[in-house]
Amino acid sequence: MTELPLIARARSHCSSIAFQSKARSHTYQDLLDRSGTLATALLDDLDDLQEARVALLVPAGFEYVAAQWGIWRAGGITMPICLSATEGEWEYTLTDSSSVIVVATAALAEKISPLCRRLHARLLVTDQAGIATAKFLPTITPERSAMILYTSGTTSKPKGVITTHANIQAQIESLVSAWEWSAADRIPLFLPMHHIHGIINVASCALWSGARIEAFERFDLAAILDRVSADAYTLFMAVPTIYVKLIQAVEAASPEERAVIVSGFARLRLMVSGSAALPASVHERWTALTGQKLLERYGMTEIGMAISNPYHGERRPGAVGKPLPGVEVRLQAESGAVVPGEDEPGEIQVRGPGVFRAYWNRPEISGGAFDDGWFRTGDIAVLEAGYYRIMGRLSVDIIKSGGYKLSALEIEAALLEHPQIHECAVIGVPDATWGEAVAAAAVLAEGATLDLATLRDWCREHLSYYKIPQRLIVLKELPRNAMGKVTKTVLRTLF
């Protein structure tokens, strides 16, 4: 029987601990057993799920990966969804992907079961799926679709990025080699598990390597500082917002606490930042506090990681480094010509085995996303003294806040449902903690009034918390150009 390499590799370190927590630990053998049981429960009478979409609503940890592997071993496509999304957001993702099964923990199953009933989706509760005897599982070839992650772009609604098992393997192998992962590594996992940073860079690379993961249901600053101080880890991967929060915590600590925390961080073999721009000032402050030189890298849901500062060698603040193993990168100038050398900006385009297959059910945008086989990222960069530096994005409608990619258009569409809002425009404005904060400009209905607190309260029913505007200005009219289009660059000057 041919097995997925990630699963086959687990057999070679089956007695090692894969997940460790205060309450209990799970070995790689536990993962193999539990994922086999879940695969059997998922299959029911079938021999192969044949790439059916299976939504995953499970917090980071052993049960998450057991379910992810279970879905893969049964021949399904795993589609992790945001734990804190609103029912409307869940409904959109489940309907768009025509998911037929939802795997959830008992607590989350309670929240999603009315929706599952309404959509006629089967709900499998992880805690109750322990009785099936593992049966013969299908052979899964690398070119089969493995995962769908929903990501916002310049479309008003998020779209599903399909990656194959071969894509995922290429993404993992590139990082394992570049950052020298080994079975001796130990890493905390506190990032959301519906995005590649947590799924690939942390969890999958660790499990490919036979390393150990300590999972947290959310970013728990105090607990993580305790564990770093106790030398629990060798590696640490986070978004820039987390480094800003860590700097604040270290600076606020008493001299004794600070010495313990700082020496814990100093002993890690590698600390990585990515998913959004790491300001050079944050990079430098962290080095001054801990002696650690953060390794900044650049990636995207559609391509995995593409560019990285080196594990050995200069880690340059403000730059993302060079292409990772197996990844080809080029810059395309506005004229359409490929940038021949240094100091001329262009759009980052990426080619390689880690690049996704297509957007789910969106043939009209999947084709346009590529230029002659190169994926167009929409990010602008320049090559300077051998290293790429990210300069910004082509679209003003994409916001990166706390490492989450948000669509301004999706937020605008939601705000337009508000009874007091007649017109609105959403942008990202610079923010020292979040990178960018969501800012809304609204023109109100005749005689209406609206303040930020009231708007935010209303939004809780309609948008995940990180999409809710942090700033609001009320205008008589939105700034428009001669064609009548809202000019977001002018809007930015008003906040």
User: Which residues in this chain contact ligand MLC in the complex, by CB under 6 A?
Assistant: 191-192, 195-198, 218-219, 239, 241-242, 245, 274-275, 299-301, 401-404, 434, 437, 465-466, 470
- Please report how close the Cβ of residue 208 comes to ligand AMP at its closest, in angstroms: 20
Cα separation of the two ends of the chain: 60
Rounded to a whole number, what is the largest CA-CA distance in the chain? 70
Contact in structure between 397 and 367 (CB atoms under 8 Å): no
Residue in 34, 405, 462, 467 binding ligand AMP, rule: CB under 6 A: 405
192 or 321, CB closer to ligand MLC?
192
Q: How many CB atoms are closer than 10 A to CB 174?
A: 24
274 or 323, CB closer to ligand AMP?
274
156 or 470, CB closer to ligand MLC?
470
Residue by residue, DSSP assigns 431-492 as ETTTEEEEEEEEEE-TT----HHHHHHHHTTTS-GGGS-SEEEE-SS--B-TTS-B-HHHHH
- Please report how close the Cβ of residue 138 comes to ligand AMP at its closest, in angstroms: 30
Q: State yes or no: residue 274 binds ligand AMP (CB under 6 A).
A: yes
Contact in structure between 339 and 332 (CB atoms under 8 Å): yes
Helix, strand or coil, per DSSP, at residue 357:
coil
Residue in 18, 108, 300, 491 binding ligand AMP, rule: CB under 6 A: 300
Residue in 86, 275, 401, 407 binding ligand AMP, rule: CB under 6 A: 275
Q: State yes or no: residue 327 binds ligand AMP (CB under 6 A).
A: no
3-state helix, strand, coil in the chain (%, to 5): 35, 25, 40
Residue in 37, 105, 151, 169 binding ligand AMP, rule: CB under 6 A: 151
Q: How far is CA 235 from CA 174, 230, 311, in A?
A: 17, 13, 12
Structure tokens belonging to residue 281 = 């000032």
Q: How many CB atoms are closer than 10 A to CB 449?
A: 9
Q: How far is CA 184 from CA 13, 191, 206, 212, 486, in A?
A: 12, 21, 10, 8, 54
Q: ∠ CA 485-489-491 to the nearest 5 degrees?
A: 80
Q: Which does 466 bind (CB under 5 to 8 A by kind): ligand MLC, ligand AMP, none?
A: ligand MLC
Q: Which does 161 bind (CB under 5 to 8 A by kind): ligand MLC, ligand AMP, none?
A: none
Residue in 74, 178, 242, 277 binding ligand AMP, rule: CB under 6 A: 277
Q: State yes or no: residue 276 binds ligand AMP (CB under 6 A).
A: yes
Residue in 66, 108, 390, 414 binding ligand AMP, rule: CB under 6 A: 390
- Please report how close the Cβ of residue 158 comes to ligand MLC at its closest, in angstroms: 12
- Chain residues 177-196 in contact with ligand AMP, contact rule CB under 6 A: 195
Beta strands (DSSP E) in 285-416 are: 295-300, 304-308, 322-323, 328-332, 346-351, 358-359, 370-371, 374-384, 387-393, 398-401, 404-407
**Binding flags for ligand AMP, 351-380, as an x/- string (CB under 6 A):** --------------------------x-x-
- Please report how close the Cβ of residue 303 comes to ligand AMP at its closest, in angstroms: 9
Unique residue bearing structure tokens 């009315």: 114
- Please report how close the Cβ of residue 392 comes to ligand MLC at its closest, in angstroms: 15
Residue in 158, 210, 299, 304 binding ligand AMP, rule: CB under 6 A: 299
Q: State yes or no: residue 296 binds ligand AMP (CB under 6 A).
A: yes
158 or 274, CB closer to ligand MLC?
274
Q: State yes or no: residue 309 binds ligand AMP (CB under 6 A).
A: no
Distance CA 12, CA 19 (A): 16
Q: Which does 218 bind (CB under 5 to 8 A by kind): ligand AMP, ligand MLC, none?
A: ligand MLC
Distance CA 283, CA 84 (A): 30
9 or 245, CB closer to ligand MLC?
245
Distance of CA 138 to the CA centre of its chain: 29
**120-128, 284-292, 298-306, 350-358 -> range binding ligand AMP (CB under 6 A):** 298-306
- Please report how close the Cβ of residue 80 comes to ligand MLC at its closest, in angstroms: 12
Distance CA 161, CA 361 (A): 10
Q: Which does 296 bind (CB under 5 to 8 A by kind): ligand MLC, ligand AMP, none?
A: ligand AMP
**59-67, 115-123, 296-304, 475-483 -> range binding ligand AMP (CB under 6 A):** 296-304
Judging by beta carbons within 10 Å of its beta carbon (0-12, 13-18, 19+), is residue 340 exposed, middle or buried?
Answer: exposed
Distance CA 371, CA 7 (A): 34
Beta strands (DSSP E) in 28-112 are: 53-57, 77-80, 101-104
Q: Which residues bind ligand AMP (CB under 6 A)?
A: 151, 195, 274-277, 296, 298-301, 320, 377, 379, 390, 393, 400, 405
